[in-house]
Amino acid sequence: MSVGGYDNRLRPSQPPTPAGDAFTIHRAEVAEGISLAYVREGIGGYPLLLVHGYPETKRIWWRNIEPLVAAGYEVIVPDLRGHGDSDLSSDDTYDLV
């Protein structure tokens, strides 16, 4: 499948996922005491939201961010509530917002 001219099939020759925090991590407070962490790259391009599944984090998308930005997208990749760098609620429940 091709997205904006970028062939997104995984290949053995594809570079490994960057280690650590390869991108700037931002935070948005969505409720009192609860903030979500996210990466936002390619500001000004066509917006594209990449959401991880359970029990992953935003880092599952690391290898896709740069090629999508190069294809003209503004890529937004959040950690859902209670995952990765996002906060867990005070009652330790996993809600999306």
Answer yes or no: is pLDDT of 1 > 70: no
Region 75-94 average pLDDT: 82
Rounded distance between C-alpha atoms, residue 2 and residue 63, angstroms: 15
Which domain, by its residues, includes 53?
39-89
| Total domain count, the chain | 1
For residue 68, is it within any domain?
yes
Please state, as a whole number, how many other Cβ atoms lie within 10 Å of the Cβ of residue 35.
Answer: 16
Sheet of strand 34-41: strand arrangement: 26-31, 34-41, 73-78, 46-49
pLDDT (average), residues 43-68: 93
Q: Which residues on adjacent β-strands are paired with residue 31?
A: 34
What pLDDT score was predicted for residue 13?
41
* CA–CA distances in Å: residue 23 to residues 28, 41, 56, 71: 16, 8, 17, 18
In a domain, 94, yes or no: no
50 is a domain residue: yes
For residue 55, is pLDDT > 90? no
Query: Band of the pLDDT at 4, cuts 50, 70, 90?
Result: low
Q: Please check whether residue 81 lies inside any domain of the structure.
A: yes
Higher per-residue confidence, 24 vs 12? 24
